[in-house]
Amino acid sequence: MSAAMMKRSVLASRTRVAATTRSRATVVRAEAKIKIGINGFGRIGRLVLRSTLEREDVEVVAINDPFTDSEYMAYMLKYDSTHGPYAGTIESAKDGLVVNGVHIKSFALSDPSQIPWGETGVEYVVESTGVFTDIAKASAHIKAGAKRVVISAPSNDAPMFVMGVNEDEYNPAKDFVVSNASCTTNCLAPLAKVVHAKFGIKDGLMTTVHATTATQKTVDGPSKKDWRGGRAASSNIIPSSTGAAKAVGKVLPALKGKLTGMAFRVPTTDVSVVDLTVNLEKATTYEEIMAALKSASENEMKGVLGYTDEDVVSSDFITDGRSSIVDAKAGIMLTPTFVKEAAVPA
């Protein structure tokens, strides 16, 4: 699933879209479901909808995509080459979709300020077009009647939140447009937070072995800004840039300027790997590091950070709802302060 990524296809289940609690627990309004609108029914938008269909506390009531009609929306939602066909019922209607017997209104408007979110009762908009990624542009949804906006990609000026890392800093009095960062940042930040808190990170390098994204080419094609990015995705390992490591400094200020990284795009359709190699301030053992990560996965970061010591491969994590899963068998240590950890953003 790797679009933009975030990838985080579970934005609706991960992002703190309501300010009714300050805990890391799932936000539940006993009196009513949170009403969500999706702008952009691409890879992320469709998987956001799928994830909400598994929850009782949120519901998607409207979708906007200027390039897709309701019949094609129904087809793309029903069939997914990575996650398989949807098990429920999906039908197209004249003005939207009917999913499991529930009507979801659809629009095809290019200007976010003209989408009638208010008329459909939408409170929170998941902005997943990859186009409206700053506060000024994303605020058009609020002008259209929504209360808050979650951008499914990094933003230059919107406050950025990663679940399990800094969501307690969310201020509902002023944070009306927020960014959920990228998939790689959602994987890296929880890992880095635990390691830094327990052992201290002096500096480090991150490499993400990243699944193919929607912007890549099926065959060699033009890509003026990134020549290598224009090569065929299915037959190449393609070096690429990523701002994910630097973005960690935005959600973990203590690590600002201490991490940087790069990416390799590989010919898989889902599940990537984050390889974090760091110099530690405190001498330790690999076993102690893994014990700290395992403990965090079972306690304060449960549901966000995972841990495995089994002989797994990437496809074993398809559709996993956690942001970051530490692979204990994939890391190594050279000295008591020089270690490589591996984690999977599913």
- Residues annotated as catalytic (active site), given as ranges: 183
Query: Is residue 265 part of an annotated ligand binding site?
Result: yes
Do 264 and 209 touch, CB atoms closer than 8 A? yes
Q: How far apart are the first and last CA of the chain?
A: 9
Of 104, 94, 123, nearest to 49 by C-alpha is: 104
Query: Is residue 152 part of an annotated ligand binding site?
Result: yes
Query: Is residue 242 part of an annotated ligand binding site?
Result: yes
Q: Which residues sit opposite 343 in a β-bridge?
A: 274, 326
Question: DSSP states of 73-115 as a string?
Answer: HHHHHH--TTT---SS-EEEETTEEEETTEEEEEE--S-GGGS
Query: Is residue 43 part of an annotated ligand binding site?
Result: yes
> What's the token pair of residue 123?
């409170």
Of 115, 111, 95, nearest to 103 by C-alpha is: 95
Query: Is residue 213 part of an annotated ligand binding site?
Result: yes
Dihedral sign of CA atoms 122, 125, 128, 133 in order? positive
Distant-in-sequence, close-in-space partners of 221: CB < 8 Å, separation ≥ 6: 230
Query: Is residue 44 part of an annotated ligand binding site?
Result: yes
Query: Is residue 183 part of an annotated ligand binding site?
Result: yes
Query: Is residue 268 part of an annotated ligand binding site?
Result: no
Question: DSSP states of 144-175 as a string?
Answer: TT-SEEEESS--SSS-B--TTTTGGG--TTT-
Binding residues: 43-44, 65, 152, 182-184, 213, 242-243, 265
Binding residues for NAD(+): 43-44, 65, 152
